[in-house]
Amino acid sequence: MPRGRPRFTLADILLIVILSGLSLGFLRWLGRSGQGEGILLPILLFELAFLAWFLAWRTVRGRRRARPCEECGRPFVPGRGKATSTRCPQCRTRSLFPQQVRREQARALRAIPGVLLLLMVVLGFLLSEPVETHFGDHSWVALPLVALGAVVVFFGVTIAVALVIALVRNRLLGCEGYAFAMARRSCGKPGEVSRSGPLVAWSSDPPTPLPMLGEQLEVARRRFESLLGEPVEVRLPIRILCFGRRSAFVAYHKNMIPNLWNLDGLYLNRPIRTITRTTEASPCRLSEPERTARTLFGFALLDELKGFIPPPWLQQGLGNLLAGGGDRGELDRLSRKMVVALARGTALGPDDLFDRSPRKVVTLAKGWYDHPTYVRFAQFNAQSWSVVEYLGGVAAPEDRRARFRAFLKDMGPKDDQEQVFERHFGHGFGPLLDGWRAWVEGRGIGEYGPTPPDIRDALLERLIPTITDRDAKVMDRILAVRDMGRAGYVFGAAALIALLGDGDEVLKPEAIWSLEAISGLPWGDDADRWAAWWQGFPEEVLVPDDPPEPRGGPLIGGSA
């Protein structure tokens, strides 16, 4: 058989026969609809039937046409006009500039009115005879309205079907067997299941991460116990899915948050508490698996304590507080981010910080391709952590910690959180942020400490080469720049300073944000000031104890 000739199977023939039967049935109904039969119910039933046929056809033909992505290995179906494409849409998007992504999204939105109009015209043509029979001389008024109603019903049915599928899938995820089967499909490996106490872990690759995860859960539990001032026990099970490849982690969550390339782990509290994580070292991420595990376990511990989804600022802040454990270096790096946010006027107010719903936070996370959206998301996470450190961190006065402890225990699922807070602190969220600002300004930018060896190696071997490689995917370069700012280590900042004079207008705002987050200084694109700042560091700050052989020249030394 020639290579380009389409191949048909028994399933294809069966679907074609079904489509022919549906079409003939629809035409017969149109011929008899003038005899007093109702219109809306048959239209609804035919729409459901044609929608089911279309989904079945796409599934059957799509599986046959799918090809593996050359980058992530996941099967995908090339779109029309892209038969030679070797990358899936997710990997292709990472190669586009943010402006190109926005243009493609805008183009898709502009096509929607045309599709709706075309569908109205087609339905109006098909329904013209029964509408004329029912409405007589007024059919010229009724026909557009009936066609519009049919379009609304069609999309309503489509949305309803999608919601039902999502609800059923979410319900099935509560079943351990279904969740593990979905994980196996995402990575193409059988994996291994291990159990220890409340932890049930599935891992795509050996060895099992359960010992490390159990240790980090115990660390987070002890810190939570210290904060609450009472024993904390983990009674409810926690399911953990560990993917050796980041692409499998992204594929598992593709129906919830697309393109999860900027996260190493995720916590879901429904239908059963589940942690998903990836262990692959990304060229654009500083992986800290132990800290990530403590953060996610912090979410789970808070969820078990309260029994409901807490406000996002409290969840993010408490998770990071338990992960950091009062480490001075981490608190100094966090303080620098807040100092520069206050200087820039980008610190969040009470409404943006405390009243942001989980849905709005997810919307911010989905918009990480856009620089301003990512900056707001990063500010929300960091400021939530900083505020919780102010309220209940190791450096907080005992009286404030006791009040925060009481607020944490007292808040119920339907309570107004500000009223509960005011009951324990004597003021609302506005004065809270006033006190927090004074605390941040009093701490200042802290000390620039040395970079841990594992972070230094990751910067030298993965992130800095990605940033300086002009042939790398543009979003990988952007993510690497952002992650240097998120981590806040001084080591390697010369690579960011070099971007200021590189003429790349896409990476320049990313480099400015990262430099300001690392330094705590609002100097914008003043490359000379940044170069002088970099040259002023002593060698012991840039190079940790017992370093390996220097690599990268000026990225290690004291000059740019």
In tens, the pLDDT along 457-484 reads 999 999 999 999 988 888 889 999 999 9
**pTM across the whole model:** 0.80
Residues 468, 403 within the same domain? no
Residues 226, 343 within the same domain? no
Q: How far is CA 355 from the centre of its chain?
A: 20
Residue 539 has pLDDT above 90, yes or no: no
Structure tokens at 92: 């292709």
The verdict on residue 363 lying in a domain is yes
Containing domain of residue 48, as a range?
A: 7-65+115-159
CB atoms within 10 A of CB 140: 10
The verdict on residue 356 lying in a domain is yes
Q: Which of 80-94, 360-374, 507-521 has the highest mean pLDDT?
A: 507-521
The answer, yes or no, to whether the previous bond of 207 is cis (omega within 30 of 0) is yes
Residues 11, 142 within the same domain? yes
Percent of the chain surpassing pLDDT 90: 47
Give the HSE-up count for residue 10: Cα atoms under 13 Å, Cβ half-sphere. 0
- The tally of domains found in the chain comes to 5
Rounded Cα gap, residues 257 and 507, in angstroms: 24
Rounded Cα gap, residues 33 and 425, in angstroms: 70
Residues 50, 91 within the same domain? no
Residue 427 has pLDDT above 80, yes or no: yes
Mean pLDDT of the chain: 83
Rounded Cα gap, residues 25 and 4, in angstroms: 34
Residue 443 has pLDDT above 90, yes or no: yes
Which sign, positive or negative, has the C-alpha torsion 73, 79, 83, 85? negative
The verdict on residue 109 lying in a domain is no
Q: How far is CA 73 from the centre of its chain?
A: 21
The verdict on residue 168 lying in a domain is no
Contact 130, 142 (CB under 8 A): no
Which sign, positive or negative, has the C-alpha torsion 517, 523, 526, 532? negative
Q: What is the CA radius of gyration of the chain?
A: 28
Contact 517, 338 (CB under 8 A): no
Residue 211 has pLDDT above 70, yes or no: yes
Reduce the DSSP state of residue 471 to 3 states and report it: coil
The verdict on residue 533 lying in a domain is yes
Residues 200, 84 within the same domain? no
Residues 370, 380 within the same domain? yes
Residues 72, 155 within the same domain? no
Which element (helix H / strand E) includes 246?
Answer: helix 246-252
How far is residue 256 from each of residues 159, 260, 315, 393, 418, measured CA to CA in Å?
15, 10, 20, 33, 30
pLDDT of residue 386: 97
Residue 553 has pLDDT above 50, yes or no: no
- Provide CB contacts within 8 A for 237, sequence distance 6+: 198, 199, 200, 272, 273
The verdict on residue 317 lying in a domain is yes
Contact 202, 240 (CB under 8 A): yes
Q: How far is CA 544 from the centre of its chain?
A: 33
Structure tokens at 459: 């910067």
pLDDT of residue 545: 43
The verdict on residue 440 lying in a domain is yes
pLDDT of residue 6: 47
Tell me, what CATH number does 195's domain have?
3.40.30.160
CB atoms within 10 A of CB 418: 16
Rounded Cα gap, residues 117 and 147, in angstroms: 10
| Residue that finishes a domain, picked among 414, 447, 480 | 447
Q: Which of 78-92, 134-148, 506-520 has the highest mean pLDDT?
A: 506-520
The verdict on residue 560 lying in a domain is no
Residue 389 has pLDDT above 90, yes or no: yes
Contact 153, 47 (CB under 8 A): yes
Residue 58 has pLDDT above 90, yes or no: no
Q: What is the mean pLDDT of residues 528-532?
A: 93
Residues 417, 344 within the same domain? yes
250 vs 393, which has greater pLDDT?
393
Q: What is the mean pLDDT of residues 85-112?
A: 70
pLDDT of residue 203: 95
CB atoms within 10 A of CB 222: 13
| Residue that finishes a domain, picked among 447, 472, 491 | 447
Reduce the DSSP state of residue 58 to 3 states and report it: helix
